Structure 1
């Protein structure tokens, strides 16, 4: 039997793969960045590094590049090249909202919940996405790893959302939603009682549950139904 959803007051949502459909832009931007650092497309090294990028979707991008290149200077160069390539793709119109994502955020806020959009990208890339979608005013707050200290899978962004908004009195009043195992682990480490995995991005249901998902949804469009039903029960 599924336990009742608690009274959630703060919702922290991932962007790419959760609220934003990027159509494989992360992989395309990585390939462009890696080529600039001498990683030849089609090589075994490129394939190995690309698979690591896929496996670590949701993690802070600079952390991924540090692991891939093992040198801070190279990692910073790769990250800058990645952010530039991704920004160019976003600016070219190669991005769209997940169907129902905007409406889900608006419904949650209309019901009195505070909504924060978080990302593993740098601020410049996050802002490019928000600008392209017209989402700068959609959520109560937007956060990137530099705003919080560390990116996923650390709990920093979720806890920063709580501290900056003051929306909840208890970490158990937080819900986290994302498409990767790193999103779920972040929510678990932050103490969020609802960790909703969505099937519109990088990882499947088994990986999401193994990382701590309390629920797996088809998409973020289903999140208001889950959270607001829990609020109605709590009020009753």
Structure 2
């Protein structure tokens, strides 16, 4: 008598929902701009805050390139970054998540996605925003500056976030608030949902390649079932057997 093989459980191949942190989940964009403005002034550089704002979302190295230009002194980088970190740390206890941010992470996880915080901030800064966000129960992994050598708009951070959970680009979506997020995701082969919470316009995010743009985390949460985060991608077909109930 021929026995029917018992279907084996599919490997854990849930999609990866990558979330930028600063300016996307927590309202920190302009605090970072202010801290950089103050740090630059401490070292003799007067830079319009609007120019600094347009560079927020890049790593410190690229940000300093953008705001100081080709004549900048690279030997100052560590001192400037250290001053920025010290100034920004004074805000840790008062950081405010955007409305719906934690609920968005939980609702996304409930739909079967693995949640990864994709940040190039220091471990200390990431810990501070995670504490204020209060959603560690659904966060599977997080990146920090220690995970990348080239920061956004390079794709390294997105790739590092994928590696944290063993996901492929086609299994992932990134949610971010800057054109640098959108460009980094695109270079890594990952679609990006843009939010307007970082001060960029809808047109700018769309022109950079965002597949969808919402006002803020709460609006994205309300439309979660009509966008790319509605359901993770299906696992690849397993030849030689019928799909399990979980795969169907």
Do both proteins adopt the same fold according to a TM-score greater than 0.5, normalized to the shorter chain?
yes
When residues 8 and 218 of structure 1 are mapped into structure 2, their CA distance, relative to the original with a 3 A threshold, is: farther
CA contact (8 A) 2:55 2:66 kept: no
**2:118 pairs with 1:101:** no
What TM-score, normalized to structure 1?
A: 0.82
In structure 1, C-alpha distance between the alignment counterparts of 2:217 and 2:63, rounded to whole Å: 26
Structure-1 residue corresponding to 2:179: 181
Q: 1:28 to 1:75 in 2, by over 3 A?
A: same
Q: Which residue of 2 aligns with 1:55?
A: 54
Q: Once the 2 structures are TM-superposed, how far is the Cα of residue 181 of structure 1 from its aligned partner?
A: 0.3
More helix by share: 1
**Alignment of 1:126 onto 2:98:** no
Cα separation, 2, equivalents of 1:191 and 1:8: 17
User: Which runs of no fewer than 5 residues in structure 1 stay unpaired?
Assistant: 1-6, 40-44
Further displaced range: 114-123 or 196-205: 114-123
Any unmatched runs of 5+ in structure 2? Answer: 1-12, 236-246
Q: CA deviation at 1:66?
A: 4.2
Matched residue SS, 1:103: helix
Partner of residue 227, structure 1: 228
| Distance change in 2, residues 1:103/1:132 (3 Å) | closer
The CA distance in 2 between the partners of 1:28 and 1:88, in whole Å, is: 12
TM-score with structure 2 setting the length = 0.78
Report the equivalent of 1:85: 87
Task: Say whether the 8 Å CA contact 1:177–1:220 is kept in structure 2.
Answer: no
RMSD across aligned C-alpha pairs, in angstroms? 2.5
Matching residue of 1:64? 63
